[in-house]
Structure 1
Amino acid sequence: MRQLSINRLKQGDVLGRTIYANDGRVLLGRGIAFTPSYIERLRDLGINIVYVDDEETKDIVLEDVITEEHRREAMASLEFSGQAVQVGKDFDGFKVKKAVNNIIEDILFQKEIFISLTDMRSYDNQIFAHSVNVCVLSIVLGKALGLDQNNLEALAIGALFHDIGTVKLPKELLRKRESFTTKEEDLYKTHTSLGFDILRSKRELNLLSAHIAFQHHERMNGSGYPRKLEGEGIHQLAQIVGIADFYDNMVNDGPGHTRMLPHEACEILMGCSDKLFPHDLVVTFLKHIAAYPTGCTVKLNTGEIGIVVDQNKSLPMRPIVRVLLAGQDLNQVKAKEYDLVKERTTFIESIFE
């Protein structure tokens, strides 16, 4: 299986991972061959990345760190809660706890965790997919830091609901991908206070979760919002969610911005350590992130084109790349692999979008 930009999809390519709607409905099932109308439909939905199966990459296995069922359950829980808030109704905090604890169990069950999967997000599920991903990333970092069960649960709920305040903002603002105007930015920033008010009213939820929603945009140097807190004035759990949110926003389209490539986001995040986020948290976080996700197509400094087939977890910037070689008979295609930890003079120049 490999990752492809929607712009590189062609008729006959076979879908490698099922694409779901918010409510769990199947939009396109694994194994379906793409037609021009399917490709155009995905483009209309705002889906930029898909996974395809082909002969050259059929042995590449891409696994999520949580089950598909638990990811969809968390998205559905968040969507239901958001709809309730929009119409002024209450939502079931105990169902939320159940959804996040399933995710926590999935992550605690694994010995080594390495994030190497890119979301297939549409315009309609972007907010939900982003929130679930921030939840997953936050728990992974929380686990690495040795947080206990109570703090992991508060962290997970705060992460899943960190943007719950956006349900009270105009939809056209949330769908905008160009930079915000000053007025739009000021309006968007209110989502932290709105989220705090929503979560602190839920007695069955830890008040720490509300403070995470309130503080996840605060930064160590005081440049954040809404209160321009500095250093240790920002709760550690909010700093964890802040890092996860910052990274996930960089590698995916979102309100007021378009995405960048994971290795670029990793470099930027490292450059922000000790300025926006604590250095030790950033270093620990990046140990669990694949700078070049498995399945992506890359160009090497040798001029060769290859596919990332595996990761070196000790050196995330140096994965294993498979290069396809065509012999004299173009029907006979051989492959060779570079382990970039061992091939020290070979490196990745760029990722093909």
Structure 2
Amino acid sequence: MRQLSINRIQEGDLLGKTIYAHDGRVLLGRGIPLSSAYIERLKKLGISIIYIDDEETKDINIEDVVSEENRREAMISLQHSGEAVRIGKDFDGFQVKKAVDNIIEDILFQKEIFVSLTDMRSYDNQVFAHSVSVCVLATIIGKALGLDRDNLEALAVGALLHDIGTVKLPKELLAKREEFTTKEIELYKSHTAHGFEILRVKRDINLLSAHIAFQHHEWMNGSGYPRNLSGDKINSLAQIVGLADFYDNLVNDGPGHKRTLPHEACEIVMGCADKLFPLNLVVLFLKHIAAYPTGCTVKLNTGEVGIVVDQNKSLPMRPVVRVLMAGDDPNQDKAKEYNLVEDRTTFIESILE
């Protein structure tokens, strides 16, 4: 399996991972040949990354740290919660906690965790998929920090619901991918206060989770919002969610912005250490993130083009790359692989979209 930009998909390519709608419905199932009509429909849905299966990469297994079923259940619980809030009703906090507990169990079960999966997101599920991914990333950090179960659950619930306040915002604003105007920025910032007000009255949800929704955009240097808090005045769990949210927003399209490539996002996050987020948190986070996700297509300094087929967890910037073609000659040996930890003069120049 490998990932490709939707613009590089060809008619007849086999879909490598099932694509879901925001309510858990299957839009396209794994193994379906992609027709030109399907490809055009996926483009209109706003999906930019697709996983495909082909002969050259059929042995590449791209595993998620959380099961597909548990991700989908979390998205459904989030969708139900948001819809309830939108029409002025209460939502089932126990359903949210059940979905979160499944994610926690998946993460606690694994000994070593390394995130190497890119979401296939459409316009309609972007907010939900983002929140689930932030929940997963934050829980991974929480586990690495050794949080007890109560704090881990409060962290994960707060992460899943960190953007619940966006249900109070216009849908057109959330669907926008161009830069926000100054007025739109101020409107978008209000989602943190909305989220706090929604969650703080929920007796079945830890008040810490409400503070996560309120403070996840506060930054160490005091330049965040809504209260310009700085340093240790920011709740420590909110800092974790803030970092997970910041990274996931970088690597995926979202309201008011386009995505950044994962290796560039890792560099940006490192540059934010001791400015936006504590250095120790940034270092710990990046130890669990693949700068070059398994299945992505890369160009090497040798001129060769290949697929990332495995990771070196001790050196995330130096994965294992299988060459698909060398230079402009497609007849060169396709089985050649570079372990960039061992081949020290070979390095990745760029990810090919």
The aligned counterpart of 1:88 is 88
Amino acid in structure 1 at the alignment position of 2:4: L
1:335 Cα offset (Å): 1.3
* TM-score calculated relative to the size of structure 2: 0.98
Paired residues in the alignment total 351
CA distance in 2, matches of 1:347, 1:192: 41
1:331 Cα offset (Å): 7.4
Asked if the contact 2:179/2:257 (under 8 Å) is kept, the reply is: yes
Asked if the contact 2:217/2:242 (under 8 Å) is kept, the reply is: yes
CA deviation digits over 1:16-44, x for unaligned, max 9? Answer: 11111122211111111111100000000
- The unaligned stretches of length 5 or more in structure 2 are none
Tell me the SS of whatever aligns to 1:4.
strand
Amino acid in structure 1 at the alignment position of 2:9: L
CA deviation digits over 1:224-257, x for unaligned, max 9? Answer: 0000000000011000000000000000000110
1:58 Cα offset (Å): 0.4
The aligned counterpart of 2:264 is 264
CA deviation digits over 1:171-220, x for unaligned, max 9? Answer: 00000111111110000000000000000010111000000000000000
1:13 Cα offset (Å): 0.7
The aligned counterpart of 2:245 is 245
CA distance in 1, matches of 2:98, 2:337: 43
CA deviation digits over 1:271-291, x for unaligned, max 9? Answer: 000000000000000000000
Tell me the SS of whatever aligns to 1:334.
coil
Q: How does 1:273-292 map to 2 (within 5 A)?
A: 273-292=273-292
Amino acid in structure 2 at the alignment position of 1:188: Y
Tell me the SS of whatever aligns to 1:210.
helix
The aligned counterpart of 1:203 is 203
Amino acid in structure 1 at the alignment position of 2:11: Q
Asked if the contact 2:218/2:224 (under 8 Å) is kept, the reply is: yes
The aligned counterpart of 1:103 is 103
Q: How does 1:1-353 map to 2 (within 5 A)?
A: 1-325=1-325, 334-353=334-353
Asked if the contact 1:325/1:335 (under 8 Å) is kept, the reply is: no
CA distance in 2, matches of 1:14, 1:51: 9
Amino acid in structure 1 at the alignment position of 2:143: K
1:334 Cα offset (Å): 3.3
Asked if the contact 1:319/1:340 (under 8 Å) is kept, the reply is: yes
* TM-score calculated relative to the size of structure 1: 0.98
Asked if the contact 1:177/1:257 (under 8 Å) is kept, the reply is: yes
1:333 Cα offset (Å): 5.2
- The answer to which of 17-26 and 339-348 deviates more is 17-26
Tell me the SS of whatever aligns to 1:322.
strand
CA distance in 2, matches of 1:232, 1:208: 15
CA distance in 2, matches of 1:105, 1:287: 21
CA deviation digits over 1:315-341, x for unaligned, max 9? Answer: 000000000358xx9778531100000
CA distance in 2, matches of 1:342, 1:33: 38
Asked if the contact 1:219/1:228 (under 8 Å) is kept, the reply is: yes
Amino acid in structure 1 at the alignment position of 2:252: N
CA deviation digits over 1:91-114, x for unaligned, max 9? Answer: 111111111001000000000000
CA distance in 2, matches of 1:127, 1:253: 10
Asked if the contact 2:12/2:35 (under 8 Å) is kept, the reply is: yes
Tell me the SS of whatever aligns to 1:335.
coil
CA deviation digits over 1:123-164, x for unaligned, max 9? Answer: 000000000000000000000000000000000010000000
Amino acid in structure 1 at the alignment position of 2:212: I
Please tell me the root mean square deviation across aligned C-alpha atoms, in Å: 1.2
